[in-house]
Amino acid sequence: MLNFALLAAFVPTFLFVSFTPGMCMTLSMTLGITLGVRRTLWMMAGELVGVGLVAIAAVVGVAAVMLGAPWAFTLFKWLGGAYLIWLGMQMWRSKGKMAIPDQVNPDDPTISRVTLMTQGFVTAVANPKGWAFFMVLLPPFIDESLPLPGQLTLLVVLILLIEWIALMTYAAGGRSLNRLLQKSANVRVLNRIAGSLMLFVGVWLALG
């Protein structure tokens, strides 16, 4: 089991990190604006799987190998970023499956659950800074005198719980913005805000 002192230091540290605006939080807020919190949960599921894999890999040393192959990361980032940029351009023009229609229906299944999960997973895994961050953040909270599996399991559970709370907070904020602007029937404004955010995430992912 994790040392209590280390645990007490880890929770506020990762709370601060998770709630700091980043690619995943911006994506969550964007989908909260256009699809609503319920549909955004599918993106969150993919993102959390990606974050969990990156955290485990960072501790067991796989991250060092992955970071040693920059060409693979570059290709993955460019492909993921290009897709998000294309979505952002469509949303900005009030076109495409993710743009808000005149009659909003958050449960509209035109964009599949698999697509949403893939967006979240790719955004989490294709970020080299995320890998490097976990390599730096997690090792200091591992007590070498205790078995690794139990400590790693607890840390990953805490990471995913805190990350989910942060994602929900950003998605709810996006949904609140949607409702605020919908009262003025500013659907085009909402689409342009969401499209601009998606473009920002795509460029950040591709070039970050």
Q: Give the global pTM.
A: 0.74
Query: What pLDDT does residue 95 have?
Result: 73
Is 155 a member of any domain? yes
Q: Kindly state the tokens that stand for 96.
A: 């495409």
Residues in the chain: 208
Is 38 a member of any domain? yes
**Count of the separate structural domains present in the chain:** 1
What is the amino acid identity at position 190? Answer: L
Tell me the pLDDT of the chain averaged across its residues: 79
Is 83 a member of any domain? no
Whole-number Å distance between alpha carbons of 165 and 11: 13
Question: Of 51, 21, 35, nearest to 91 (Cα)?
Answer: 35
Is 28 a member of any domain? yes
Is 204 a member of any domain? no
Is 208 a member of any domain? no
State which residues of the chain have pLDDT below 50: 104, 106-107
Whole-number Å distance between alpha carbons of 36 and 105: 9
Is 85 a member of any domain? no
Is 165 a member of any domain? yes
- Parent domain of 160: 4-71+101-184
For residue 126, give every residue at least 6 positions away whose Cβ sits within 8 Å of its Cβ, in sequence order, or none.
73, 76, 77, 80, 205
Whole-number Å distance between alpha carbons of 155 and 18: 14
Query: What pLDDT does residue 62 have?
Result: 57
Angle at 130 between CA 145 and CA 57, to 5 degrees: 45
